[in-house]
Amino acid sequence: MTALLEVRDLRVAFGAAAAVDGVSFTVAPGETLGLVGESGCGKSTTALALMRLLHGAVTGGSAHFDGRDLLALDRPAMRGVRGAEIAMIFQDPGTALHPLIRVGEQVTEAIRAHQAVSAAVARARALDLFRQVGIATPELRLRAYPHQLSGGMCQRVMIAAAIACSPRLLLADEPTTALDVTVQAQILELLQTISRATGMAVILITHDLGVVAGMADRVAVMYAGRIVEMAPTAALFAAPAHPYTRGLLGAVPRLDQGWDDELPIIPGSVATAIAASGCRFAPRCPRADRSCRATPPLAPVAEGHLAACWHSG
């Protein structure tokens, strides 16, 4: 199967600081890829770089989407991709929607940006989309302003606008982080339903391993601007190969743990990684030794399972 998106050696730098440092991955049509890592590891930057929405950043590498390199397209061509073929939703729907524009118009303008349809047709489509994303009394909601809707409802509006032009890839940047736990599950379920029904691929960016476990076909774990492990979701959870992934999984609190037991953590912080040469996780890694002074390549440890660690073999 040919990949829908093939990212090769993506690099993003703000000034001298490299936020993304040589990231490569592929996404197949209809596939959901989870992009996991802690704050500041470069997940969101990767997604924004693919959409070319980073202003003032230097990007390198390539990202072939359906045969075209997104990073090399001219501005009008890229504008034609945004919203139409690749759509994006964001973490906080409360700030991602324009506060002074009715939500219906925020959906119809996404349609009319790419398709020459009348206002009435666009409105009818928006109404359909609102029903599709599970907004009750959609006729009324079209005329509402974002502040009149709940956070979960706003995220449904964002999703409606994102899928308005039937994109083939959706970049979902922490789509449930700002929402209540009960609403989180509904939104994830909605994304999964849409993805299955339309064959839309999803890159799901999250720091929440629980989210990828339920949603993603494959998972890529990022640390300090690099992918350190990539595997089918079940394989990753069953046999994590990279010490960082193991640390992340170990740090998930468990219900059967005693109240007084200390929560397992990964010592140190991601800030120490920037200066490190060789393996960036080495300063925090329990297994680090002399060999970690050289950068480990992302190498196969099992069928479809890659890890960047000298000790994972």
Partner 1 sequence: MLRYLGGRIGQSLLLLLGVSVIGFALMHLAPGGPLAVYTLNPTVTAQDIARVKHEFGLDQPVHVQYVKWAFGLLTGNWGYSFFGGRPVGGIVLERLPATLELMGSSLALALIIGIASGIVAAVRRNTVIDYATTTLAMLALSLPTFWFGLLGIYVFAQTLGWLPAGGMASTGGGGVPDRLRHLLLPMLVLGFVLVAQWSRYTRSAMLEILSQDYIRTAEAKGLRPMRVLLGHGLRAALVPLVTLAGLQLPLLVGGALVTETVFSWPGMGLLFVNALGTRDYPVLMAILMVGALVVVVGNLLADIAVAVIDPRIRLTHV
Binding site for partner 1 (CB under 8 A): 51, 53, 79-84, 87-88, 90, 92, 95-101, 109-110, 113-114, 145, 147-148, 158, 161
Q: Which of 215, 178, 205 lies closest to 49, judged by CA?
A: 205
Query: Minimal distance in Å, beta carbon 249 to partner 1?
Result: 31
Our CB check for partner 1 shows the closer of 165 and 301 to be 165
Closest contact distance (angstroms) between CB of 146 and partner 1 is 9
At 184, is the secondary structure helix, strand, or coil? helix
- Cα dihedral angle (229, 29, 42, 159), rounded to 10 degrees? -130
Q: Which residue has the tokens 């890159």?
A: 203
SS3 of residue 203 by DSSP? strand
* Smallest gap from residue 17 Cβ to partner 1 (A): 19
DSSP 124: H
Nearer to partner 1, 112 or 311 (CB): 112
Question: Cβ-count burial of 249 within 10 angstroms (0-12 exposed, 13-18 middle, 19+ buried)?
Answer: middle
Nearer to partner 1, 15 or 258 (CB): 15
Closer CB to partner 1, residue 65 or residue 310? 65
Q: Which long-range contacts (CB under 8 A, 24 or more apart) does 52-56 make?
A: 52/78, 52/82, 53/88, 54/12, 56/14
- The residues, ordered by sequence, that sit 6+ positions from 138 with a Cβ below 8 Å of its Cβ are 127, 130, 131
Phi-psi region at 199: left, alpha or beta (left = phi > 0; alpha = psi -120 to 50)? left
**What tokens does 151 get?**
């956070």
Q: Tell me which H or E stretch contains 302.
A: strand 299-302
Smallest gap from Cβ 134 to partner 1, in A, equals 20
Closest approach, Cβ 66 to partner 1, in A, equals 16
Place of tokens 């789509």: 175
CA neighbor of 128 nearest in space, from 150, 149, 107: 107
Q: Which residue in 86, 87, 110 sits closest to 98, CA to CA? A: 110
Structure tokens given for 230: 């990539």
Nearer to partner 1, 38 or 105 (CB): 105
Nearer to partner 1, 164 or 230 (CB): 164
Q: How far is the CB of 102 from partner 1 (least distance, A)?
A: 9
Q: Could you tell me the smallest distance in angstroms from the CB atom of residue 112 to partner 1?
A: 9
Nearest distance in Å: CB 74, partner 1: 13
Residue 77 or residue 234: which is nearer to partner 1 going by CB?
77
